[in-house]
Structure 1
Amino acid sequence: MTSPKSSHWDIFCAVVDNYGDIGVTWRLSKQLAREYQLPIVLWVDDLKSFAHILPTLNPTLGSQTLEGVTINQWNMPLNIDYTPGAVLIEAFACELPDEVKAIAKCAPTPPLWLNLEYLSAEDWVDGCHGLPSLQSGGINKYFYMPGFSAASGGLICEKSLFDERDAWQADSANKLTLFRSLGLSGIKADDKIVSLFSYETLALEGLCARWQASSSPVHLLVPKGRSLNSLASYLPKAPADIAAGEQFCQGALTIHILPMTDQTGYDRLLWSADFNIIRGEDSFLRAQWAGRPFIWHIYQQEEDYHLVKLEAFMRLYCDNLAPEIADCWKNLNLAFNQQQADAVQQHWQNIESFALPLLAHAKQWPIDALKTTDLATRLVQFVKKSLR
């Protein structure tokens, strides 16, 4: 079978409402193209939504190449010919078109078929990573499981990311320049900065009440979207009527409305904040790489299974933290995810007393979590081994 470097990889992704699936897939595609010189073809079903995080994308073009990646419009049925390459990746069980599966199965040398799954810290990930599932036609689909252990598929992280982050955070002028470019004003270098990208939750009212009564300025940076629905009592007009660039003050708290930004801009926003509140998978991991304390607002699932996922991650994240700090951070995350406005106020007050050791832990965590090998590297190794 051909080497992965001599034939292209196809990656199929369906865009969902929070951009997490396409965010992860686009980062992976760029990294594979840039760091491994792999010819990547990314098939996306909704280019208009994709353009929100990739402003240089032209959603009217059926095919275009950006940052070394060929981006094709995934229509049903396909109106661009699919030619099997070395690898076929089905991102997050997006369900490949029947014609793609039929062509792949009938190819003289079928592509290595992978299902890229969602990131999880749960123990079962190690046992499922790399397992084959025999498909009709006699070829296997392998489950590729991102994760935090050495036995998993790893975590997406570009090789230069930490150096770029450290250079950015070394000079406070960088964040102030970023804020000005986003249309934000009135922020000083030493002010408390919190970035917010969450689902709706009553817990936000508790935090805002705490920040409003703070003895020093707190700036809450919020993009237009679902988070604003939980801040209605702190806004002078309906969230739908609010525009990027507006700001609203109550006591020590100033709420700044952000414009949509690309992935590089969002990374820099996370690097520039003192604390990040994030949701989804892509933002969840990028907040960790920012080296700043954070709250993860995990997507709610039936029978509170999302709390099982949250607990699994918190056990890993807190492994090297002093018990009293670990308990405080866990309680804050749990209260936020259970919409406990009063409790989250108290836990935020408690966590402020642990600000320095929590920041030190947040800076060390990316180094420990990456375990020297990122997802793209492990994926390339997996493909090479499978194609021998």
Structure 2
Amino acid sequence: MSLSFSAPSLAIFCKVIDNYGDIGICWRLARQLCLEHGVAVTLWVDDLVSFRRICPEVDPAAAQQVILGVTVRHWQDQDGQFDPRDMPDVVIEFFGCELPPDYQQAMAARTPRPVWLNYEGLTAEDWVEGCHRLPSMQPRLRLTKYFYFPGFNARTGGLLHEAGLEARRHAFQHDPAAVTAFLGRFGVTTTAAAGRKVSLFCYPDAPVTALFETWRRSTTPTVCLVPEGVAPEQVAAFLGAAPVAGASANHGRLTVRVLPFLPQADYDLLLWACDVNFVRGEDSWVRAQWAGRPFVWHIYPQDENLHHKKLRAFLALYARQAPALTAYMLGWNGAQTMDDHDAAWNALDSALPAIAAQADAWRESVLAQGDLVTQLLDFVRDLRFAQENRV
């Protein structure tokens, strides 16, 4: 049996846990598969309201809609009946979300059976290199599920990076008029932009109040741009008002401005326009790496502080020549004490030029591994070829 598999059909199942990170990754994955590789993608999402925050075209009330060529379906529960003839060539479970039982049965009944992937979370820990592409037999269904791990080297699955991203970033960052026009949309004037520009995206437990106090007393003017809904209590305390889009206040050397929650393309521009970026979770963490700017990562918290191990593994690769960045990021995440925030930030601030140069080198080294979508499709084709030869 010979099958043409140049442009397979594919379904992605996404349960939104981290508000925007999960769907952010899945939406980038779906778009790149569709737009660059001609894959017919169906994206099943359980939370269309969160999805709309990063993609304004989404209709939260629609059971099914097509956006930029991707079919988006509202995944409401684990019930439903599915026809084997409607099963795609590839099925991706994002972060191990469980597929509806009848969907799994329909996959098992399809000929040929779909390639089934469990798309895992990104980590720099060594153990993923031994687990990437490993099969997991599902005897009851006579199906095999394969683990796919994004990563930073050739023994993992790469990172999401769409075609043309580098050229767009380079053009924007070397066009002062474009940067000024973009920041001007949010009330950042040319005079204000002359100081330090920082984007802030973090979880509620970050020491934002201490950071604001440090910047308020700093000798360098700082403009901090915060998406609406981020650290709302700390931002409201600084503003003395509700932290809604458009609100702003200035105290000492610090100006805080609240931005509307940005679509993905505009969020990239924000990262490119700022001198330092505070990011969280996985999606904005990866985009900060592509931005080539110094960044501070707030990792998604896990039980028993397992996230601290993941954080240290990344820092051992990314910041091994930047001890001030390691110390600050560990303190920002509560992985070690940071009693004197001024001293920690000042040490980091002094190291920023060297960190910026290292960020460029890091970006180039990771880009050399190839993009995730191309590697994922190559893996799928290998599996399908092996499957055909067994028939």
The TM-score bracket by the shorter chain reads: over 0.9
Q: Which residue is 1:124 aligned to?
A: 127
Task: Report if the CA contact (8 A) 1:203-1:340 is conserved.
Answer: no
1:134 is paired with a residue whose SS is strand
User: What does residue 348 of structure 1 align with?
Assistant: 345
User: Equivalent residues in 2 for 1:306-317 (5 A)?
Assistant: 306-317=307-318
Q: 2:205 aligns with which of 198, 201, 207?
A: 201
Give secondary structure in 2 for the equivalent of 1:75: coil
Give, in whole Å, the separation in 1 of the partners of 2:152 and 2:176: 31
Is 2:153 the counterpart of 1:157?
A: no
TM-score by length of 1: 0.93
Q: What's the counterpart of residue 26 of structure 2?
A: 25
Pair 1:304–1:343, CA change in 2 (3 A): farther
Alignment counterpart, residue 381 of structure 1, candidates 366, 371, 378: 378
Tell me if structure 1 keeps the 8 A contact 2:180–2:190. Answer: no
Most deviating of 81-90 and 369-378: 81-90
Q: Which residue is 1:297 aligned to? A: 298
CA contact (8 A) 2:154 2:369 kept: no
Q: Distance in 2 between matches of 1:187 and 1:201?
A: 32
**2: distance between equivalents of 1:38 and 1:367?**
28
Per-residue CA distance 1:210-248 (angstroms, 9 max, x = gap): 1111223100111122423234442313xxx33201101
Q: In 2 relative to 1, CA 63–254 (structure 1 residues): closer, same or farther, beyond 3 Å?
A: same
Q: For residue 223 of structure 1, what is the aligned residue in structure 2?
A: 227
Alignment of 1:232-243 (within 5 A): 232-237=236-241, 241-243=242-244
Aligned partner letter, 2:36: E
Structure-2 change in CA distance of 1:202 and 1:122 (3 Å): closer
Find the counterpart in structure 2 of residue 190 from structure 1: 194
Distance 1:75 1:205, change over 3 A: closer
1: CA distance, partners of 2:229 / 2:337: 22
Q: Give the letter for the 2:327 counterpart.
A: N
Summarize deviations over 1:280-303 as a string: whole Å, max 9, x none. Answer: 100110011110001111122222
Q: Does 1:255 align with 2:259?
A: no
Shift of 1:185: 4.9
Partner SS for 1:351: helix
**C-alpha contact 2:9 2:89 (8 A) present in aligned 1:** yes
Deviations 1:136-162 (A, max 9, x none): 221100001111120101111112111
Q: Does 1:336 align with 2:332?
A: yes
The DSSP-based 3-state class of the residue aligned with 1:373 is coil
Does the 8 A contact of 1:157 with 1:374 survive in 2? yes
SS of aligned partner of 2:54: coil
Q: Distance in 2 between matches of 1:27 and 1:78?
A: 27
Distance 1:192 1:262 in 2: 24
C-alpha change, 1:183 and 1:16, in structure 2 (3 Å) is farther
The equivalent residue for 1:92 is: 95
Gaps of 5+ in 1: none
2:338–2:344: 8 Å Cα contact kept in structure 1?
no
Mapped partners of 2:232, 2:122: distance in 1: 27
Measured in 1, the distance between the counterparts of 2:305 and 2:58 equals 38
Which letter does structure 1 place at the counterpart of 2:341?
A: V
Query: How far did residue 18 of structure 1 move?
Result: 2.6
What letter corresponds to residue 286 of structure 2 in structure 1? L
CA distance in 2, matches of 1:171, 1:57: 31
Give the equivalent residue in structure 1 for 2:61: 60
Deviation string for 1:187-229 (max 9, x for gaps)?
A: 5342210100001235222221111112231001111224232
| Structure 2 residue aligned with 1:109 | 112
Question: Which protein, 1 or 2, shows the higher relative CO under an 8 Å CA cutoff with sep ≥ 6?
Answer: 1
In the TM superposition, residue 186 of structure 1 has moved relative to its aligned partner by: 6.9
Amino acid corresponding to residue 247 of structure 1 in structure 2? S
Question: Offset at 1:253?
Answer: 0.2
Q: Distance in 1 between matches of 2:254 and 2:342?
A: 14
| Mean CA deviation greater in 215-224 or 333-342 | 333-342
Please state how far the C-alpha of 1:344 moved relative to its aligned partner: 3.3
Distance 2:302 2:344 in 1: 24
Confirm or deny: 8 A CA contact 1:115 1:142 kept in the other structure.
Answer: yes
Separation of aligned partners in 1, 2:197 and 2:378? 40
Are the counterparts in 2 of residues 222 and 228 from structure 1 also a CA contact under 8 Å?
A: no
SS of the residue 1:353 aligns to: helix
Q: Could you tell me whether the CA contact under 8 Å between 2:239 and 2:248 is conserved in 1?
A: no
2: distance between equivalents of 1:187 and 1:104?
59
Q: Which amino acid aligns with 1:47?
A: L
Does structure 2 retain, via aligned residues, the 8 Å contact 1:88–1:112? yes
- Aligned with residue 143 of structure 1, among 141, 144, 147: 147
Percent of counterpart pairs with the same letter? 41
Partner of 2:388: none
Amino acid at match of 1:381: D
RMSD: 1.9
What is the DSSP-based 3-state SS (H/G/I as helix, E as strand, rest coil) of the residue aligned with 1:354? helix
Contact persistence 1:125–1:145 (CA under 8 A): yes
1:187–1:219 Cα contact (<8 Å) kept = no
For the Cα contact (< 8 Å) 1:205–1:341, is it kept in 2? no
**CA contact under 8 A between 2:153 and 2:369: conserved in structure 1?**
no
Residue 183 of structure 1, CA deviation: 4.6
Please state how far the C-alpha of 1:305 moved relative to its aligned partner: 1.2
Inter-CA distance 114–3: structure 2 relative to 1 (3 Å threshold):
farther
